Each structure stands twice: as structure tokens, then as C-alpha cells.
Amino acid sequence: MKVVALVSGGKDSCYVMMKCIQYGHETYVKFITQEKCPFGVPSRSTIELPLVQAGLGKAYVEVLVANDHSKRVLHVQSISSWAPSCIGPYSQATLHKGVLHMAGQLGLDPPTMNLRNEGAIAELNQALTNSEAIAEAFRCSISSSAILFVVFCSERTKQSERNQLHEKFVSFLDLAKSSRRVANVIDPIFLYILVPDLPKSALVEVKPVLYVEEDSEDDDETRKDQLGEGDFSCWGYKPEKWHQDCLQTRVIDGKICVNVLSISAEVMKKLDEPSGDEEQPLKRVSRFCVYLLDKTLSENLFSWQDTTSLRIHFSTSLGVSVERLSVIFETAFEVLNEMSLGVISNGLKEPIFSLVPVLGAGNSSASLDNIITCELFSLSTIELPLVQAGLGKAYVEVLVANDHSKRVLHVQSISSWAPSCIGPYSQATLHKGVLHMAGQLGLDPPTMSLRNEGAVAELNQALTNSEAIAEAFRCSITSSAILFVVFCSERTQQSERNQLHEKFVSFLDLAKSSQRVSNVIDPIFLYILVPDLPKRALVEVKPVLYVEEDTETDDETRKEELGEGDYSCFGYKPEKWHQDCVQTRVVDGKICVTILSISAEVMRKLHEPSGDEKQQLERVSRFCVYLLDKTLSENSFSWQDTTSLRIHFSTSLGVSVERLSDIFETAFKVLNEMSGGVASNGLKEPIFNLVPVLGAGNSSASLDNIITCELFSLRS
């Protein structure tokens, strides 16, 4: 069997693809590398799409994940009277950065999980009732907060009923609005899609996207200055009224932009020109689509960098394969890029899109004659300064173990002791005595709202939440923490930022005195300055703790095996200030955490009059590798024990990730050639992550590190 999939790297999609390959299926894979997409759960793969007609297999898998943890997920796992339970391992809804993405809702009666059997309109009413019940769990309503409704109609639906669906849909919403007396109402976009079949042989499925208002500052003028006024004359199109008739756009609070572009047979005729090339009409249509989408983004102060998803639904009546259509649209985006209109999407020259074959689509259930329908979703947010470093807007880090000896804590319900999980993540994972906790925000657990008294209040709440999670593993952040990584938003006032470290230490000291703990680990603090944080928080705390286990250590044997390191080959004479750059904590001879800080002052000490900027960075990288290697050896660890090495670098360096990566790789190769015994998991050089930041340091008041290395080693 041929299988088509959009693979993002999420665990569900990777598992599906591994199984397909294991069973010998031929796979057609479209990799989604822009991990910032706001869909935290797999889409319902039980909708039957006309994939075979498009020359594909029978399976369509789409898993899109987010690059941060700013999400709330609703799981309805028990059969209740208010909303249907989840069909499959999916969540009913995911709230991410003010956008509520709801799973497709069928006309299921919640107590019985049976379909309404009175026809398509009865199913629609029940599906909307279910959607409203789920929306209420997030304190919003589909009647006032919906941006987009995607309605899937089964081919089995009678034409007479299909013609009435849109009218009944609007009537349902109007009735709900009048009963609720809502003042601020979003005018939603409707997109109807005709498919061969639906889950449970349903006739209708409704998939709403809602906006849940959050407090934020708009900066449209700044964005306008950055984006400028687009020049679209190079496309060769003169603006005409019917161009805008093809497009529906909704912009919410300057943060969200939803576009649905419809190309009917009539529009294709208007774009048609006499030509001998059979594909010429499709090439013209693809360019017209890209032109209109680009123009709309620019006019609404958005760019392609803000794109989170672009789905192109195409009718099987076109008679074109998905591979051929993919090439045609890729060419259109290449043309756009060559015109220097600034198309960069997450570090790629062209934005990533997915092609979805359908039987038909349209803005009304009575008219499903679109040939091509583009569904573009944009969200203007950023967490790490990745763009400044020549990358996209997504930073994804996945750490895995080669065994299953771990305990995981999931907090899925809103409780009084710890915040619920934001997204399909665990709050903490215990593996080989190390408790890796997810970043904690200053969220009040019962309400999941941020403390609004400032950064210090958020810090205290985040630490309280961290302690609650640590207690679930019978430990405490006051006595068991090895490392605290504290992310500070650029929006934090300098006066508050200066107080954070002092308040942090005071919190821990107060907790220690009340607990009367004897064996206390002295933790390392690493503060990192970033442009923004989930939920527009000011502070996020990410603790790493040691949970004691009964094990035997054999330090003497290891010391004999490792021997005394010889570092004369590096050309450095040991000096006192070398050790001032390094903070190290060794716990029970099993864990070694090292933070190496390179400030502007240290860079000056390493500077040599002869040499350009590249040589200066090469000296710094070699110095970092030398000190890390020396620290590991002195503490009876080797590079084989390394579990992670993050190199945070300031964007003030003005160097790209690719170039800095090459420089550090060269430094590790030099170390290897010097017979320093560098081997990490079978590789000659250890794997490291480069993370661009605005600043970093060991105190919240001083975030002036140029390069900060965070090395974590765990002895097997």
C-alpha cells in the first residue's frame, strides 16, 4: 500500500511512519520542518479523502506541533452528558497563543456516543452543540469567538439537505448570539469541503477555530515600518474587483490572520490565455494564488514568516497528481522569492504547504465547485531570536533515552496543587536519578491565569509550582536542585530583572529553613534573556533535580581508566581567571553539570592583535572545548557521559548559526586529533545544540555573556 504523510517529527507521526515502513508499505512523505504550527494534536485521520484518485495511498496523516509549551489541552475521556468523549488518542481542543483549535465534531449524542439519525441537519445541530460545550470549557463561545468553520460534508449527504446546511448553520449561530446577548462578535469564515466519507459514517463534521482573547500589546506601526509597503506590479496583475471576491480574510487583534482563497472554474477561465501547454492554466492559477496571498499578508502587516499552516485543497476533477501540483506551486513560490519580495518561512526560501485532494470545496454548502482552495493561517509571535541568527522561528529540542527506566508526571486536570499541562507534554520526567522538569510559569493552578503583579510575583508562583511537582517525586527544589535555568522576557523592567536573583535565593533560603533540610545541593543558576515567553509571561523557571537512588559508584576505577589529562597541546597555561569562567556541580559521582560563561571581557583576554573576526571566534571555541574537556577529566567524567551540550550565543555576535556550528565542529575535531579521547555515543565529536539568545549570565542583573555552554553529563 502507498501511504502519504506529513511528518513533523512529533511522536505520533513518527510512530505511524515507522510502523508503515516496518510493514513494508511504500511511503510518500512530506516533512513539516516548521515546528511552530499551533496544532498540538494529530488531525483526525479517519476522514476519508480521495487520495487514490490523486495517485496516492489510502492514509493521510497530519501531525503539526508547536515550538513552545504555551498550550492548554482539553481531554474528554469519560462519557458525559456535556460533550462526547475523545475518539482515539486525541484531544478535543488545544488552546495555543489565543487560538483554540478544536478537533472535528460529529453529531454524536454525548451520553450514548451514537450519531443522530435524523439526517445531516440534525447532525449539524448536534455537532454545533458539542462544539459550544467544548468552547465553554475555555470560557468562550462559537457564536462570538469563531474565526473559521471548516465543515466536512459526506458525499452521501442528500443534495437537498446539503443546500440547506449553510442556512441552518447561520440560524444556529444567530439564535445562540441573541440568547447570549454578546456585544463583540467575530464574523467567521465558512469553508465547506466535500469528501467520500466521514468517521462513523457521519454526514457532517464541523471543525471550528476560535480566538480566545488575551491581554497583549499591539505594535502594528512598528510592524508596518518593518514590513513596508509591498510592490506587486512585478506580478503583472492589475488590481481588479473580482480579485478580492476570491478572498476572505479575518485579522484579529493584529496577531492572527486567516485567509481562505477560492479558485472556481469561472476564475480559471478569467486567468486563461491561449497556449499549447496543458499545464499552463495551472501554472497561471498557482502564481495568481501566491500573488493574492502575498498581497493580503502585506496589506494586513503580516509576512510569510508568520505562517503557521498553508493547506491547498484541490478538486480531483483537475485530474492532476499531487506530485505534479506540488512542483507547480513550489515553482510559483520560487518565482515570488526571485522577485525579492522577502519570502522566508522558518529559514526556508519558500513556505511549506500541504496539498489535500477533495471532491469539492466552497464558501457555501450549496456551492462546492471550487477547483482550488487555499487555507492560510498566520500567527505573529516569536520566542527565541532565531531570525536574527539566520534561522526560522522554530526551535525544537527532543531528548530521548535508549531505555524505558523513567517515571513521568502528567497533570491534566486543573487542580489546586500544580498547573495542568500546557499541551500534550509531561510536567516532569525522572530518568536515572535526574528529574527533568518542564519550564514553569507563574500560573495560578486553579485558574491557569498568570500572576499580574510583575516578574517577582511570577517568579514566586513559578517556584511554588515547581515545588509542588517536585513533591510528587518526594524531593524538593530547595535541597535537590542541581541547575535552575531561568528565562527572562525582554519586556521585564530592568529594575525587576535586577531583583530576580536576590528574590530567587530568598525563596529557597526561606523554604530550606522551614523544611530543616540537612543535605542540600548548591545549585547553579543560568539566566537567559529572550524576546518573549509563552502566554506573554515575564519569567519561566526550568529546574533540574537529583533524586537519590541506591547505586554503587566506582570513582577510583574510573580515575585510573581516565588518567590525568595533558592539556599543554592546547597552548593554554592554567590561569586563575580560567576557573572563574566555569561553574561545576558533581553529585554522587554520577552527575556533572558545567556552565561555562564567555563574556566580552574574557573575549578580550583571548584576543590576539593578528587575526580577523573568524580567528577570534575560533580561539574562543577552542578555549571553550579546552575548559569543558579539562573540567570533565578532573571530575572523572568523559565525553561519552555527555547527555546534552547547549551553546547559547548572543545575537550581538552577528554570526549565523551555520558559521558558528562549523567553528565549534572544527574545535572538537582539533581536540580529537590531539588524542584527547573525544567519543560521544559512537561519534568522533559530541553533538551540541546552538541556541541564539539576547543575553545570558549567572545573575539576572548581568546578562552580558557572549557565549554560554551548558554541559550535562550522566554516568551510566
**Span 522-572, pLDDT tens digits:** 888 999 898 888 778 899 999 999 987 654 444 444 444 444 455 555 566
Identify the bridge partners of residue 691 per DSSP, sorted by sequence position.
648
pLDDT in tens, 138-197: 788 888 888 889 898 888 888 888 888 888 898 888 887 777 655 567 888 898 888 888
- First CA to last CA distance, the chain: 42
**Residue range(s) occupied by CATH 3.30.1330.40 in the chain:** 108-215, 217-252+254-381, 395-550, 551-716
CATH number of 551-716, picked from 3.30.1330.40, 3.40.50.720, 3.40.50.10320, 3.30.420.40? 3.30.1330.40
Could you say which residues of the chain have pLDDT below 70? 1-91, 180-184, 214-238, 254, 274-278, 339-350, 380-426, 515-519, 549-572, 609-611, 675-685
302/196 Cα distance (integer angstroms) = 36
Name which CATH class applies to 217-252+254-381.
alpha beta
- Say if CB 128 and CB 204 are below 8 A apart: no
Element (H, E) at 642: strand 642-650
- Say if CB 4 and CB 28 are below 8 A apart: yes
DSSP reduced 3-state for 77: coil
Q: What is the DSSP letter of 239?
A: P
Q: What is the pLDDT of residue 558?
A: 44
CA-angle at 66, arms to 62 and 70, nearest 5°? 140
Q: What is the pLDDT of residue 123?
A: 92
Q: What is the pLDDT of residue 405?
A: 57
- Architecture of the domain whose range is 108-215: 2-Layer Sandwich (3.30)
How much of the chain, in percent, has pLDDT values that exceed 70?
A: 67
Which of 696, 701, 705 shows the shortest CA–CA distance to 497?
701
Q: What is the pLDDT of residue 176?
A: 77
Residue 251 has which C-alpha cell?
485579522
**What dotted CATH number matches 395-550?**
3.30.1330.40
Query: Left (φ > 0), alpha (ψ -120 to 50) or beta: where does 615 sit?
Result: alpha
The count of other CB atoms within 10 Å of the CB of residue 87 is 16
pTM over the 0.85 mark: no
